[in-house]
Amino acid sequence: MNPMSTLADWAQIRGRVKIELSEIKPLIEMFHGYTSPGVLLGAAMVQAAKEQIEPGVLYEAVCETAKCLPDAIQLFTPCTVGNSWLKIVDLGKYALALFDKYTGEGVRVWVDAGKLENWSEINAWFMKLKSKQEQDQKLLIDQIVQAGARVMGVQPVKLHPDFMRKKIKDSYLICPKCRESYPSRHGGACSACRTESPVQIYL
Protein backbone atom coordinates (compact mmCIF):
# COMPACT_ATOMS: atom_id res chain seq x y z
CA MET A 1 0.00 0.00 0.00
CA ASN A 2 1.25 3.49 -0.76
CA PRO A 3 1.65 5.87 2.17
CA MET A 4 -1.70 7.41 2.97
CA SER A 5 -1.84 11.11 2.28
CA THR A 6 -5.46 12.06 2.85
CA LEU A 7 -8.01 11.85 5.62
CA ALA A 8 -10.21 9.85 3.26
CA ASP A 9 -7.59 7.08 3.18
CA TRP A 10 -7.48 7.04 6.96
CA ALA A 11 -11.27 7.06 7.33
CA GLN A 12 -11.60 4.17 4.88
CA ILE A 13 -9.16 2.03 6.88
CA ARG A 14 -10.61 3.06 10.25
CA GLY A 15 -14.12 2.16 9.19
CA ARG A 16 -13.21 -1.46 8.55
CA VAL A 17 -13.42 -4.22 11.13
CA LYS A 18 -10.86 -6.36 9.32
CA ILE A 19 -7.54 -4.73 8.54
CA GLU A 20 -4.30 -6.18 7.29
CA LEU A 21 -1.49 -5.28 9.69
CA SER A 22 1.02 -5.22 6.85
CA GLU A 23 -0.91 -2.47 5.03
CA ILE A 24 -1.20 -0.01 7.91
CA LYS A 25 2.48 0.47 8.71
CA PRO A 26 2.69 3.73 6.67
CA LEU A 27 -0.31 5.13 8.56
CA ILE A 28 1.24 4.26 11.92
CA GLU A 29 4.51 5.87 10.87
CA MET A 30 2.70 9.03 9.73
CA PHE A 31 0.68 9.33 12.96
CA HIS A 32 3.11 8.06 15.59
CA GLY A 33 6.41 9.13 14.04
CA TYR A 34 7.74 5.65 13.27
CA THR A 35 6.44 2.10 12.82
CA SER A 36 5.93 1.51 16.52
CA PRO A 37 5.62 -2.17 17.51
CA GLY A 38 3.25 -1.11 20.28
CA VAL A 39 0.88 0.69 17.92
CA LEU A 40 1.02 -2.16 15.40
CA LEU A 41 0.20 -4.70 18.10
CA GLY A 42 -2.44 -2.29 19.37
CA ALA A 43 -4.03 -2.22 15.92
CA ALA A 44 -4.40 -6.01 16.09
CA MET A 45 -5.92 -5.66 19.57
CA VAL A 46 -8.42 -3.06 18.34
CA GLN A 47 -9.37 -5.36 15.49
CA ALA A 48 -9.90 -8.29 17.88
CA ALA A 49 -12.16 -6.11 20.03
CA LYS A 50 -14.12 -4.64 17.10
CA GLU A 51 -14.88 -8.15 15.86
CA GLN A 52 -16.83 -8.73 19.11
CA ILE A 53 -18.91 -5.54 18.84
CA GLU A 54 -22.27 -5.82 17.09
CA PRO A 55 -22.59 -3.67 13.93
CA GLY A 56 -24.25 -0.33 14.62
CA VAL A 57 -23.35 -0.25 18.33
CA LEU A 58 -22.01 3.10 19.50
CA TYR A 59 -18.99 2.23 21.59
CA GLU A 60 -16.40 3.94 23.71
CA ALA A 61 -12.97 2.78 24.84
CA VAL A 62 -10.94 2.39 27.99
CA CYS A 63 -7.18 1.98 27.68
CA GLU A 64 -5.15 0.59 30.59
CA THR A 65 -1.82 2.13 29.56
CA ALA A 66 -0.71 5.57 28.41
CA LYS A 67 2.01 4.14 26.14
CA CYS A 68 1.42 3.52 22.40
CA LEU A 69 -1.91 1.70 22.73
CA PRO A 70 -3.97 4.94 22.92
CA ASP A 71 -2.62 5.89 19.49
CA ALA A 72 -3.86 2.61 18.00
CA ILE A 73 -7.32 3.23 19.48
CA GLN A 74 -7.42 6.77 18.10
CA LEU A 75 -6.20 5.62 14.69
CA PHE A 76 -8.56 2.68 14.21
CA THR A 77 -11.74 3.61 16.10
CA PRO A 78 -13.85 6.78 16.40
CA CYS A 79 -12.70 7.04 20.04
CA THR A 80 -10.26 9.83 20.83
CA VAL A 81 -9.10 11.67 23.92
CA GLY A 82 -10.50 14.88 22.44
CA ASN A 83 -14.07 13.63 21.97
CA SER A 84 -13.96 11.92 25.41
CA TRP A 85 -14.86 8.52 23.96
CA LEU A 86 -11.40 7.27 24.95
CA LYS A 87 -10.54 7.18 28.64
CA ILE A 88 -7.00 6.34 29.70
CA VAL A 89 -6.77 4.67 33.11
CA ASP A 90 -3.05 3.99 33.42
CA LEU A 91 -2.83 0.64 35.22
CA GLY A 92 0.39 -0.26 33.43
CA LYS A 93 -1.32 -3.09 31.52
CA TYR A 94 -1.31 -3.45 27.75
CA ALA A 95 -5.07 -3.84 27.54
CA LEU A 96 -8.12 -2.08 26.15
CA ALA A 97 -11.87 -2.42 26.35
CA LEU A 98 -14.50 -1.36 23.84
CA PHE A 99 -17.97 -1.09 25.33
CA ASP A 100 -21.51 -0.06 24.41
CA LYS A 101 -21.76 3.54 25.57
CA TYR A 102 -25.34 3.00 26.81
CA THR A 103 -25.16 -0.42 28.48
CA GLY A 104 -21.48 -0.63 29.42
CA GLU A 105 -21.28 -4.14 27.98
CA GLY A 106 -18.29 -4.89 25.81
CA VAL A 107 -15.04 -6.75 25.40
CA ARG A 108 -11.56 -6.48 26.90
CA VAL A 109 -8.45 -7.46 24.94
CA TRP A 110 -4.99 -7.79 26.45
CA VAL A 111 -1.56 -9.15 25.57
CA ASP A 112 -1.40 -12.58 27.20
CA ALA A 113 2.21 -13.08 28.30
CA GLY A 114 1.58 -16.83 28.51
CA LYS A 115 1.07 -16.93 24.73
CA LEU A 116 4.36 -15.24 23.83
CA GLU A 117 6.67 -18.23 24.17
CA ASN A 118 6.46 -19.09 20.45
CA TRP A 119 7.22 -15.50 19.46
CA SER A 120 10.76 -14.89 20.72
CA GLU A 121 11.20 -11.31 19.55
CA ILE A 122 7.74 -10.17 20.70
CA ASN A 123 8.42 -11.77 24.08
CA ALA A 124 11.85 -10.11 24.40
CA TRP A 125 10.36 -6.72 23.48
CA PHE A 126 7.19 -6.98 25.54
CA MET A 127 8.88 -8.34 28.67
CA LYS A 128 11.78 -5.85 28.31
CA LEU A 129 14.36 -8.64 28.04
CA LYS A 130 16.37 -6.69 25.44
CA SER A 131 17.26 -3.04 25.10
CA LYS A 132 15.88 -1.21 22.07
CA GLN A 133 19.34 -1.34 20.48
CA GLU A 134 19.50 -5.13 20.87
CA GLN A 135 16.07 -5.76 19.35
CA ASP A 136 15.71 -7.01 15.81
CA GLN A 137 13.10 -4.49 14.67
CA LYS A 138 12.35 -6.20 11.36
CA LEU A 139 11.84 -9.56 13.04
CA LEU A 140 9.74 -7.94 15.76
CA ILE A 141 7.42 -6.26 13.27
CA ASP A 142 7.21 -9.44 11.17
CA GLN A 143 6.30 -11.52 14.24
CA ILE A 144 3.58 -9.05 15.29
CA VAL A 145 2.07 -9.20 11.79
CA GLN A 146 2.20 -13.02 11.84
CA ALA A 147 0.98 -13.46 15.41
CA GLY A 148 -1.92 -11.00 15.46
CA ALA A 149 -4.65 -12.16 17.83
CA ARG A 150 -2.78 -15.36 18.71
CA VAL A 151 -0.92 -13.53 21.50
CA MET A 152 -4.04 -11.97 23.01
CA GLY A 153 -6.68 -12.75 25.56
CA VAL A 154 -10.28 -11.70 24.88
CA GLN A 155 -13.09 -11.62 27.44
CA PRO A 156 -16.55 -10.05 27.78
CA VAL A 157 -16.76 -7.24 30.33
CA LYS A 158 -19.19 -4.73 31.79
CA LEU A 159 -18.07 -1.29 32.86
CA HIS A 160 -18.49 -0.26 36.49
CA PRO A 161 -21.61 1.93 36.95
CA ASP A 162 -19.55 4.76 38.46
CA PHE A 163 -17.43 4.85 35.32
CA MET A 164 -20.55 4.98 33.15
CA ARG A 165 -22.11 7.88 35.03
CA LYS A 166 -22.24 10.97 32.84
CA LYS A 167 -20.50 13.93 34.39
CA ILE A 168 -22.42 17.16 34.88
CA LYS A 169 -21.11 19.89 32.63
CA ASP A 170 -19.14 22.56 34.43
CA SER A 171 -19.89 26.22 34.67
CA TYR A 172 -16.83 28.44 34.32
CA LEU A 173 -15.30 31.21 36.39
CA ILE A 174 -12.42 33.65 35.86
CA CYS A 175 -9.47 32.91 38.11
CA PRO A 176 -8.71 35.92 40.34
CA LYS A 177 -4.95 35.26 40.04
CA CYS A 178 -4.22 34.48 36.38
CA ARG A 179 -7.48 35.86 34.94
CA GLU A 180 -8.04 32.71 32.83
CA SER A 181 -11.30 30.75 32.74
CA TYR A 182 -11.51 27.46 34.66
CA PRO A 183 -14.20 24.95 35.81
CA SER A 184 -16.06 26.20 38.87
CA ARG A 185 -15.80 22.78 40.58
CA HIS A 186 -12.09 23.49 41.11
CA GLY A 187 -12.93 26.08 43.78
CA GLY A 188 -11.96 29.70 44.35
CA ALA A 189 -9.01 29.68 41.96
CA CYS A 190 -7.84 27.54 39.07
CA SER A 191 -5.88 24.37 39.78
CA ALA A 192 -2.75 25.78 38.14
CA CYS A 193 -2.69 28.71 40.55
CA ARG A 194 -3.57 26.62 43.62
CA THR A 195 -0.91 23.99 42.92
CA GLU A 196 2.27 23.85 40.88
CA SER A 197 1.52 23.76 37.15
CA PRO A 198 3.81 21.71 34.89
CA VAL A 199 3.94 24.74 32.58
CA GLN A 200 5.94 27.70 33.79
CA ILE A 201 5.01 31.10 32.43
CA TYR A 202 7.88 33.52 31.93
CA LEU A 203 7.05 37.21 31.98
For 182-201, how does the pLDDT look when each residue is reduced to its tens digit (9 = 90+)? 999 889 999 888 887 777 66
- Local confidence band at 9 (pLDDT 50, 70, 90 cut-offs): low
What is the rounded end-to-end Cα distance, in angstroms, of the chain? 50
User: For 133-184, how does the pLDDT look when each residue is reduced to its tens digit (9 = 90+)?
Assistant: 999 999 999 999 999 999 999 999 999 988 887 777 789 999 999 999 999 9
SS3 for 147? helix
Q: Which of 98, 88, 76 is nearest to 156 (CA)?
A: 98
DSSP H/E element including 108: strand 105-111
Question: Is the per-residue pLDDT at 1 higher than 50?
Answer: no
Cα–Cα distance for residue pair 176/71, rounded to 1 Å: 37
User: How far is residue 141 from each of residues 93, 120, 123, 125, 135, measured CA to CA in Å?
Assistant: 20, 12, 12, 11, 11
User: For 98-140, how does the pLDDT look when each residue is reduced to its tens digit (9 = 90+)?
Assistant: 999 999 999 999 999 999 999 999 999 999 999 989 999 999 9
CA atoms within 13 A on the CB side of 155: 8
User: For 13-35, how does the pLDDT look when each residue is reduced to its tens digit (9 = 90+)?
Assistant: 776 667 777 778 878 888 888 88
